[in-house]
Amino acid sequence: MVGTAIRGAAAVAALTVPVVAVMAYGASAVLKLLVREERPCQGLHVRTIKTCPAPGDWSFPSNHATVSALAMAASRIWVGAHYPHDVMAGMLVGGLVAL
C-alpha cells in the first residue's frame, strides 16, 4: 500500500513539469496570435545569425522564455523550496531587471 502511494506520487511529480510546459506554451501561442508582433529580423530588416522565420511566425512573447520560466517557477514550488508568492515576486523582479 505504501509502495503504491509512493509510485503514485512519483508519477504525479514526473508529469507536473511537462504539463506546466504544455500549458505555458499554449498560453504563449494564444498571446502570440492576439499581439501578432513581427520578429526583429522582419521588422528591422537586419541580418541575423539565425535564419529569419517566415512571416506569421510571431515574436511576442518568446515561447522559450515562457516555458523555461514557468517550468523553473513550478519546480521551486513543487520541491517545497518556495511559496507561490515567493516565485511570483521573483518573476516580477526578474522581469523588471530584464527591462
Query: Span 41-45, mean pLDDT?
Result: 86
| Cα end-to-end distance, the chain, whole Å | 51
Give the Cα separation of 66 and 82 in Å (integer). 19
Q: Which pLDDT value is given to residue 34?
A: 94
- CA dihedral of residues 15, 94, 58, 34 (deg, nearest 10): 80
Q: What is the pLDDT of residues 62-92, one digit of tens each?
A: 888 888 888 888 888 888 899 999 999 998 8
Above 90 in pLDDT, residue 19? no
CB atoms within 10 A of CB 68: 13
Q: Which pLDDT value is given to residue 4?
A: 61
Q: Which pLDDT value is given to residue 83?
A: 92
Above 80 in pLDDT, residue 1? no
CB atoms within 10 A of CB 82: 16
